[in-house]
Amino acid sequence: MSTPEETGRSRCVSFDSTSCFLWILNHQGEILDVNPYLVETLGYPKDELIGKSLISLYPDTHQKNIHEQLKVLRNQNFIFYNSQIVAVTGVMIPVETVMIKGFWNSKPAFLGYFRNITGQPDSDGDTPFFFSGSTLEPGQKNYLDMAALSIKELEATRKELISCKEKIIQLTDEYSVKGDREIRERKYIEKEISKKNILLAEKNITLKQLLDQREKEKQEIRDEIYKKVQSLILPLIGRIQTNGTEADKRYLQAVLHNLQEIISPLSSETAKKMSILSSRELEICNLILQGCNSKDIAEMLCLSIQTVNTHRKNMRKKLKLTASGLNLAAYIKSEDTLKNW
């Protein structure tokens, strides 16, 4: 089996030794290389041809057609046509032209071949004349064999690319299906979570409303109990306390104090107001509520009238009644106060 180096050397020998016009083009139609026979026959210096468009070797009347042929070659493996080329002397040489897709120096290229058909009739067969082995010189045959090998390499590469493309499409389809399934599953989960969140929010609202209603009802019961104790029970205790013996008064005072301790938490507003008054001031409030004046309170609590008045003054200040001018007894006995105390 030939090594790449041996194949390259064989290609160069075939290219340089054959007695026909051989040339290499890039995909823009520019000449990359020509063999010595073409240089000698047409009379153009080789360095003048390199980089020049192949179309310039044709007469003006043929150039448009050759340009179209190069376009066709980009989409298929080879083209075949008859035309004329112009030597440096201006002589027109009829040629049979073959251009094949291949590789040159490991790069994609167009491999071309002119065969002088001066004096020969036009070929009307399906198979191009140059493909007949009996008409090819050894150098020509080697060149075309290498061109055919390049086409096979290109076709193999093309098949590999197609196979890779098919695999990519298959993987893309698989990932697309998987991705679509995951998206649907995620959307379903998000929808279910959203439903549950809405349901939970509705339950929370309902529960809060029930708790608020229950608390409101409980507070109404507390307020009602507190109001009745203040308006019905405490005044009776006050009257008994006024008319009873000293021992009765002391017992009633203890009862009054304990009863006040029991009912004071029943009102939310009561807790706030009671917290700013001292225990002595609370006792005075209860006695005022029972209709006692300062003298009565002083006697019942064993205090001087001046001390009781001082307590009343402090209570007015704490309850912010000083600026309003509202009477302390009237404030304590008012309907609103009875509800909230």
DSSP letter at 171?
A: H
Q: What are phi and psi of 288, to 5 degrees?
A: -60, -40
* Residue pair 13/28 in contact by the 8 Å Cβ criterion: no
Tell me the pLDDT tens digit for each residue of 21-31.
888 999 888 99
Question: How many C-beta neighbours within 10 Å does residue 150 have?
Answer: 20
Question: What confidence score (pLDDT) does residue 130 get?
Answer: 33
CATH of the domain at 40: 3.30.450.20
The yes-or-no verdict on residue 308 having pLDDT over 60 is yes
Helix, strand, or coil here: 70? helix
| Statement to judge: residues 35 and 131 lie in one domain | yes
State the DSSP H helix or E strand holding residue 8, giving kind and residue range, or none if neither. Answer: helix 4-17
Is 4 contained in some domain?
Answer: no
Burial class (CB in 10 A: 0-12, 13-18, 19+), 21: buried
The yes-or-no verdict on residue 340 having pLDDT over 70 is no
**Distance in angstroms (rounded) separating the CA atoms of residues 212 and 223:** 16
Q: Among residues of the chain, what percentage have pLDDT more than 90? A: 12
Q: Which one of 136, 160, 190 terminates a domain? A: 136
Residue 132's contacts (CB-CB under 8 Å, 6 or more residues apart) are: none
Q: What is the residue-wise DSSP string for 202-270?
A: HHHHHHHHHHHHHHHHHHHHHHHHHHHIIIIIHHHHHHHHHHS-HHHHHHHHHHHHHHHHHHGGG-HHH
Q: Which one of 136, 151, 169 terminates a domain? A: 136
* Residue pair 87/41 in contact by the 8 Å Cβ criterion: yes
Question: What confidence score (pLDDT) does residue 59 get?
Answer: 93
Question: What confidence score (pLDDT) does residue 278 get?
Answer: 75
Please tell me which residue, 103 or 131, carries the higher pLDDT value. 103
The yes-or-no verdict on residue 138 having pLDDT over 80 is no
Is 255 contained in some domain?
Answer: yes
Mean pLDDT of the chain: 76
**Distance in angstroms (rounded) separating the CA atoms of residues 312 and 211:** 40
Q: Report the length, in residues, of the chain.
A: 341
In which domain, by residue range, is 334 found?
Answer: 221-340
Tell me the pLDDT tens digit for each residue of 49-71.
999 999 999 999 988 888 888 88
CA 88 to chain CA centroid, Å, is 68
Is 249 contained in some domain?
Answer: yes
**Distance in angstroms (rounded) separating the CA atoms of residues 208 and 299:** 52
Count of domains forming the chain: 2
The yes-or-no verdict on residue 8 having pLDDT over 90 is no
Question: How many C-beta neighbours within 10 Å does residue 239 have?
Answer: 12
Q: What are phi and psi of 184, to 5 degrees?
A: -65, -45
Is 327 contained in some domain?
Answer: yes
Residue type at position 39: V
Tell me the pLDDT tens digit for each residue of 158-209.
677 777 778 888 888 777 777 788 888 888 898 889 888 998 888 889 888 8
Q: Which one of 113, 136, 159 terminates a domain? A: 136
Tell me the pLDDT tens digit for each residue of 201-253.
888 898 888 888 988 888 888 777 777 776 677 767 776 766 777 777 777 77
